[in-house]
Amino acid sequence: MIRIHPPMPKTILLINPWIYDFSAYDFWNKPLGLLYLASFLRNNGYGVNFIDALDTGDPFMREDHAGRPPRRFAAGHGNYFKEIIPKPTPLRDIPKNYHRYGITPQVFRRRLLSLTRPDLVLVTSMMTYWYPGVFATIELVKDVFPGIPVVLGGNYVSLCPDHAKLSGADFLLTGAGEIKLAGLLETLWGDRISCLPDPDKLDSYPYPAYDLLFHPEQLPLLTSRGCPLACSYCASKLLNPTFRRRNPVSVFAEILSWHRRLGVRHFSLYDDAFLVQPGEMALPLLKECVKQQLPLSFHCPNGLHLREINDEIATLLFRSGFKTMRFGFETANPDRQGATGGKVTNQDLQLAVKALQKAGYQGKDIGIYILCGLPGQRAEEVKETILFVKSCGARPVLAEYSPIPHTALWQSAQACSPFPIAAEPLYQNNSILPCRNALFTYDMYRSLKLLAAEG
């Protein structure tokens, strides 16, 4: 009898690339979009392999790294492995060291060679000015796996699609990955994708493939995509044109699942609008967390909306274990508040800080993001904002402005920047203050950093 074996499933390798930058810190980062794609592919019968070039838990890296491991904290944040590398030509005059963050090229190659030769490679991307790490990743993949098609997606591709054509990738995917990837798989191999989530129903997506991570101390949670607001400096509307939310019951079920399955106690939220319209998400989720009394901590490094904070929400945040509290304020200048989107006022900040302190938070726990280096901004405006935040009893946190293509501020940024930010994404790097001028110099910025840090 002739036994016919079914064909082996195709294997797809997903890669989170290196970061090339002057500075980088792991604020609870995980390649969430890539891990959602991994689950989507598994559900459709594909074999999946995964490499996170930034993962400090990589066993190969810990075996081979000669120096001290990077400093990490129990909550799941900390430093990356890093190595000084030559600066790209456009940045050669910047008086800072330039680094490759993540595993070494030797470990990366070893990790690739340990895998079965894939049928397709997916590489993601984040900041536009991190593209050198993306290019280097693709070059290494093509050297180890010649002839295997490479697909590049993520924020950089969506915001700078023409520049991304220089990456060496065979295919570029802009926007949300699942639908575009399904179309590509059909084009490449004639595969018909049967398990396809509904982009308008986020609860139709499978949980991210967190089992692919090495010893995760913390995990990110997705409660929504997009944002109902339209701040002039933000790309949220470009990357996710519509605001969609999950059911808070489903979100808590996911929290409970990861806590029981993997023992995870720390969760991070990068949602753009977790507190907006709190009755739809924040209030029911926080109440359930308080009710269950689980030993969990939550971290919000992306910045929550101040306007929604009242006594009830502040108390629920404190009792449910929200530890790392960051809020977007940007400036105390009323004119600029209105011009950048009008999401918050000075009174909103004062009322929110009072409610948070009443709930049990200390001033040092309440981090308030202040944007500095905006087009046409004077250093004096940032100084006044720092002093105002301190007078409210909160902690000012400077956030350097990075010009993002196609945002409402993009034309103003191009007009005032001393760099060709449209032609070269490296000049969009917030570390170099891309829109600095005589009224906001780098020396002024350093003085403002010291002022913000003073107790």
Please state the domain extents for the chain: 11-189, 219-453
What are the strands, taking DSSP E only, across 276-372? 297-305, 322-330, 366-372
CB within 8 Å of 224: residues ≥ 6 apart: 202, 243, 244, 245, 246, 271, 272, 273, 274, 281
pLDDT at site 4: 42
- Write the single-letter amino acid at 285: L
To 10 degrees, what angle do helices 282-292 and 248-262 make? 40
CATH topology (fold) of 11-189 = Rossmann fold (3.40.50)
To 10 degrees, what angle do helices 442-453 and 379-391 make? 0
Q: How many CA atoms lie within 13 A of 361 on its CB side?
A: 30
Number of Cβ within 10 Å of residue 191's Cβ equals: 15
pLDDT at site 2: 45
- Write the single-letter amino acid at 394: A
CB within 8 Å of 165: residues ≥ 6 apart: 172
CB within 8 Å of 228: residues ≥ 6 apart: 243, 273, 276, 277
CB within 8 Å of 74: residues ≥ 6 apart: 217
Which pairing describes strands 218-221 and 224-225: parallel, antiparallel, or unpaired? unpaired
**Separation between Cα atoms, residue 22 and residue 402, nearest integer Å:** 14
**Separation between Cα atoms, residue 138 and residue 136, nearest integer Å:** 6
Long-range CB contacts for residues 433-439, cutoff 8 Å, separation at least 24: 433/372, 433/373, 433/400, 433/401, 434/373, 434/401, 434/402, 434/403, 435/373, 435/374, 435/375, 435/376, 435/377, 435/401, 435/403, 436/373, 437/376, 439/377, 439/378, 439/379
**Cα dihedral across residues 186, 135, 402, 84: positive or negative:** positive
pLDDT at site 340: 93
State the Cα angle at 104 between 99 and 110, rounded to 5°.
160
CB 309 within 8 A of CB 315: no
Please give the CATH number for the structural domain made up of 219-453. Answer: 3.20.20.70
pLDDT at site 326: 96
**Separation between Cα atoms, residue 320 and residue 315, nearest integer Å:** 8
Per-residue pLDDT of the chain (455 residues; tens, 9 = 90+): 444 444 568 999 999 999 999 999 999 999 999 999 999 999 999 999 999 999 998 888 877 665 567 888 989 999 999 999 999 999 999 999 999 999 999 999 999 999 999 999 999 999 999 999 999 999 999 999 999 999 999 999 999 999 999 999 999 999 888 889 999 999 999 998 989 999 999 999 999 999 999 988 899 999 999 999 999 999 998 999 999 999 999 999 999 999 999 999 999 999 879 999 999 999 999 999 999 999 999 999 998 999 999 999 999 999 999 999 999 999 999 999 999 999 999 999 999 999 999 999 999 999 999 999 999 999 999 999 999 999 999 999 999 999 999 999 999 999 999 999 999 999 999 999 999 988 899 999 999 999 999 97
- Write the single-letter amino acid at 286: L
pLDDT at site 5: 43
To 10 degrees, what angle do helices 177-189 and 32-43 make? 50
- Write the single-letter amino acid at 154: G
**Separation between Cα atoms, residue 277 and residue 258, nearest integer Å:** 26
Q: pTM, whole model, 2 decimals?
A: 0.95
Closest CA to 207 of 255, 171, 239: 255
